[in-house]
Structure 1
Amino acid sequence: MTAAFVHGEYSLRPLDVEADIGLLHRWVTHPKAVYWMMQDADVTAVAAEYRRIAAHPHHEAYLGLYRGEPAFLAERYDPRHVELVGLYEPEDGDIGMHFLTAPAGTPVHGFTRAVITTVMAWLFADPAVRRVVVEPDIRNTAVHVLNAAVGFTAVGPITKPEKTALLSVCTRAQFLAATGEPT
């Protein structure tokens, strides 16, 4: 499958649920992925969720590769229709994002930051995107630090059915200022 986006040694391609389900299931049920909230999901449930995303007109999942090998998952969604409906005032050009790095036997310093930078560069490659919106679990302090490192500003807590989240936003200018990445 051809890459949809290339950023140095990183690339993204549309997720192929049938081909990718084995590794996807391992990733989302791994203890490291506790905030993905799929810890007890079997392969059938994970496949059903990602088939639902694939069929949704406002939500997409992509497999991220590092040096050609599967290494992360990224999702983009329209917050006017998915995840944040009625929970904040969307602006023209808003896009929502989720990302998950694959569990690693030996963590590589800076890898997750490189992944989120790649995901943000991918989102901002679309000229219609003016701002990226995220809603991680308020307890996920590690991702809050990563988000701030690439330019996100916390808006505040919001209550979703499944969690209390920290709504945060990042404009193109904030991303450029934080990372030096062109958008």
Structure 2
Amino acid sequence: MKNLIFILLLIPLSISCQTEKNATSKYPAHVGNIEFDAKLDGKFKKCSQETSYQYYNDNGFQIDGEKIKIINELQKLNFTEDKKSNGYITIRFVVNCEGKSGIFRMQQMDSEYKAYDFNEELSNQLLNFTKNLKGWMPIKINGEKADHYQYLTYKIEHGKVSEILP
């Protein structure tokens, strides 16, 4: 009788383990990998089709002139939005082993982190500004240059870019 009860208790546990194993297999190797789309990404070439290192892999911010370069260039342009607009525009992209950027994706949210659409002019200006930044540096992994992700988040307060993250 004890063995029967023990077996009956093990069945749900083993089913639970099987379910979890199957559930995790449907996710990509890294959270948020960007899939190439020829319509959006043109002729941009990654050096490795299999691996692009994530920005959280100790790569840091990899641009010649550091973040201050981006801040100074952005201040010259003075992009504005409706003064009531507050939130974030994040642009994520890949820097290949040659230091070229591509595969840009944008996400917009309000100050409460809910999906939000800023004025199309502002979002397009920030996207084009980001696409035109030069001086991205490739990273080295095991002595080899490698593709990696970068992102810029523009914090919008009262219709103006108030900060660039990270």
Same fold (TM over 0.5): no
TM-score, length-scaled by structure 2: 0.27
Which one has a bigger Cα radius of gyration?
A: 2
Greater length-normalized contact order (CA 8 Å, ≥ 6 residues apart):
2
Q: Given the two structures, how large is their TM-score scaled by the length of structure 1?
A: 0.25
